[in-house]
């Protein structure tokens, strides 16, 4: 008898052959569902371990046959069903009866490779006989399974990131195309002379201009995130007069708030407040957050405030808008994630504003967080920056 390799599909898994000679057991790749265990590949010493030909294993009924000792058949069946649900890696010990009629205790370990793969699992079965003395046995398998599990985890993570990137690209191209189409549309109307009055010409021109600004914002967000990610974003900390900055935020959003019938309050209190920050980046964060607050609010109002506390300036941007469910908090500051695709499309935006804001705030030495009582109950975003040292104010 010899170590054998039997495969229906070759090249679908790592090369275990170097190990197979050492292990008193074998490895397999199988298709698993809650009702089926279908071996696709078997590497190693199945025959050596059991005395049966490897084709017995490949038929798939090996574990249902008399080979597994009676007391272990039910636990083993349950173990396989659990493997299909993806709750493993796990291991089980059970007894098999070899062709010569000897009982042998074995250990089996299995890891579900990927559910996207239709429930493929990789497993190994080794004899536990002589475990204490031999250098081979489950130690080898355990070590290798562990490495495989690590790779598998990484693989899943990469797949997830890749999927997020695809979604992001789809969303981004939509966000780039929408304003661009609008610009082209209005400019076509103008150049073809499809306007009936100077007034209408002005409206078309203004629409094209607004879409151009929107497009510029999306592109800037994309450039910012790539600069941040590649570590090329630079900040320059200086003394910032926060009251003046808040006045500028008010000016930026007053017309928009009025148009939506929203009450806009911006306050830094009576006393001058000075922060240590990059003034342009701080303004960018405030405009991002206040812009979101107005964007996601259709009734009530938005307030932006700054107070000086414990060596820090705390900004709060509060709105009475659509709110954020608690279970979505952890997604908010993740790149490429938008809470509600349909709402986002309705409201526009690249989905990068909060991520950029978080990076910028942290680069300036502060932190940012969100609070909402839930859907429809408004949102508060608060963030800090260091206060400008007192003696120098």
| Residue 288 or 312 with smaller CB distance to ligand ADP | 288
Distance CA 4, CA 389 (A): 74
User: Shortest Cβ distance from residue 6 to ligand ADP (Å)?
Assistant: 52
CB-closest chain residue to ligand ADP:
349
Quick one: CA torsion of 57, 91, 32, 146, rounded to 10 degrees?
Answer: -100
What string of DSSP letters covers 330-393? HHHTSTT--S-HHHHHHH---S-HHHHHHHHHHHTT--EEEEESSTTS-EEEEEEEEBPPGGG-
| Residue 79 or 296 with smaller CB distance to ligand ADP | 296
List the interface residues with ligand ADP, window 355-374 (CB under 6 A): 355
296 interacts with ligand ADP by CB under 6 A: yes
**Residues 6+ positions from 120 with CB-CB distance below 8 Å:** 29, 30, 31, 32, 40, 112, 113, 114
User: Shortest Cβ distance from residue 283 to ligand ADP (Å)?
Assistant: 16
349 interacts with ligand ADP by CB under 6 A: yes
Distance CA 6, CA 272 (A): 79
Q: Tell me the window of 3-11, 55-63, 117-125, 353-361 that interacts with ligand ADP (CB under 6 A).
A: 353-361
Interacting residue with ligand ADP among 112, 266, 304, 352 (CB under 6 A): 352
Interacting residue with ligand ADP among 20, 284, 320, 350 (CB under 6 A): 350
Neighbours of 264 (CB within 10 A): 20
Query: Which residue from 299, 346, 231 is spatially nearest to 338, judged by alpha carbons?
Result: 346
User: Shortest Cβ distance from residue 297 to ligand ADP (Å)?
Assistant: 7
- x/- track of binding to ligand ADP for residues 150-189 (CB under 6 A): ----------------------------------------
217 interacts with ligand ADP by CB under 6 A: no
Interacting residue with ligand ADP among 92, 121, 225, 324 (CB under 6 A): 324
| Residue 121 or 355 with smaller CB distance to ligand ADP | 355
Tokens matching residue 265: 């309050």
| Residue 301 or 321 with smaller CB distance to ligand ADP | 321
Residues in contact with ligand ADP, counted by CB under 6 A, come to a total of 20
**Residues 6+ positions from 104 with CB-CB distance below 8 Å:** 49, 50, 95, 96, 97, 98, 127, 129
Residues in the chain: 393
List the interface residues with ligand ADP, window 326-345 (CB under 6 A): 332, 338-340, 344
321 interacts with ligand ADP by CB under 6 A: yes
* Long-range CB pairs of 139-148, under 8 A, 24+ apart, other chains included: 140/19, 140/22, 140/23, 141/19, 141/23, 141/25, 141/27, 141/107, 141/109, 142/109, 144/16, 144/19, 145/89, 145/109, 145/111, 148/14, 148/111, 148/122
322 interacts with ligand ADP by CB under 6 A: yes
| Residue 43 or 293 with smaller CB distance to ligand ADP | 293
User: Shortest Cβ distance from residue 236 to ligand ADP (Å)?
Assistant: 24
353 interacts with ligand ADP by CB under 6 A: yes
Interacting residue with ligand ADP among 19, 208, 293, 368 (CB under 6 A): 293
Q: Tell me the window of 47-55, 111-119, 188-196, 350-358 that interacts with ligand ADP (CB under 6 A).
A: 350-358
Tokens matching residue 97: 């009866």
Q: Are 180 and 198 in contact (CB under 8 A)?
A: no
In angstroms, the Cα distances linking 23 to 18, 48, 106, 139, 187 are 10, 10, 12, 10, 73
Q: Tell me the window of 1-9, 243-251, 274-282, 348-356 that interacts with ligand ADP (CB under 6 A).
A: 348-356
318 interacts with ligand ADP by CB under 6 A: no
Residues at the contact surface with ligand ADP, assessed by CB under 6 A: 292-293, 296, 319, 321-322, 324, 332, 338-340, 344, 349-355, 379
């Amino acid at each position: 008898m010899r170590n054998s390799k039997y495969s229906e599909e070759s090249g679908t898994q790592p090369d275990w052959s170097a190990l197979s000679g050492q292990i008193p057991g074998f490895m397999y790749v199988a298709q698993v569902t809650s009702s089926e265990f279908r071996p696709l590949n078997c590497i190693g010493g199945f025959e050596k371990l059991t005395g049966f030909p490897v084709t017995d294993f490949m038929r798939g009924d090996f574990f249902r046959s008399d080979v597994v000792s009676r007391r272990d058949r039910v636990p083993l069946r349950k173990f396989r069903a659990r493997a299909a649900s993806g709750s493993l890696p796990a291991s089980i010990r059970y007894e098999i009866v070899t062709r010569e009629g000897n009982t042998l205790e074995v250990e089996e370990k299995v890891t579900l490779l990927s559910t996207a793969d239709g429930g493929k699992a990789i497993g190994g079965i080794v004899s536990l006989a002589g475990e204490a003395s031999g250098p081979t046995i489950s130690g080898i398998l355990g070590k290798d399974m562990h490495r495989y599990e690590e790779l598998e985890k990484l693989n899943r993570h990469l797949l997830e990131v890749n999927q997020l990137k695809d979604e992001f690209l789809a969303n981004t191209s939509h966000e780039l195309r929408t304003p661009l189409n609008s610009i082209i549309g209005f400019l076509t109307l103008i150049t073809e002379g499809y306007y009936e009055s100077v007034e209408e010409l002005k409206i078309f021109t203004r629409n094209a201009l607004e879409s151009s600004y929107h497009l510029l914002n999306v592109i800037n967000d994309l450039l910012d995130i790539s600069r941040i990610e590649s570590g090329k974003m630079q900040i320059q900390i200086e003394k910032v007069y926060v009251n003046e900055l808040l006045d500028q935020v008010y000016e930026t959003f007053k017309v928009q708030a009025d148009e939506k019938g929203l009450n806009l309050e911006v306050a830094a209190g009576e006393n001058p407040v000075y922060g240590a920050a990059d003034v342009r980046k701080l303004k960018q964060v405030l405009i991002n957050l206040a812009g979101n607050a107005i964007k996601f609010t259709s009734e009530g109002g938005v307030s932006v405030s700054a107070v000086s506390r414990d060596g820090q300036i705390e900004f709060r941007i509060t709105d009475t808008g659509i709110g954020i469910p608690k279970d979505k908090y952890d997604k908010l500051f993740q790149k490429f994630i938008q809470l509600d695709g349909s709402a986002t499309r309705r409201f526009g935006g690249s989905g990068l504003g909060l991520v950029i804001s978080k990076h910028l705030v942290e680069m300036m030495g502060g932190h940012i967080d969100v609070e909402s009582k839930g859907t429809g109950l408004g949102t508060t975003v608060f963030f800090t920056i260091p206060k400008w040292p007192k003696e120098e104010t």
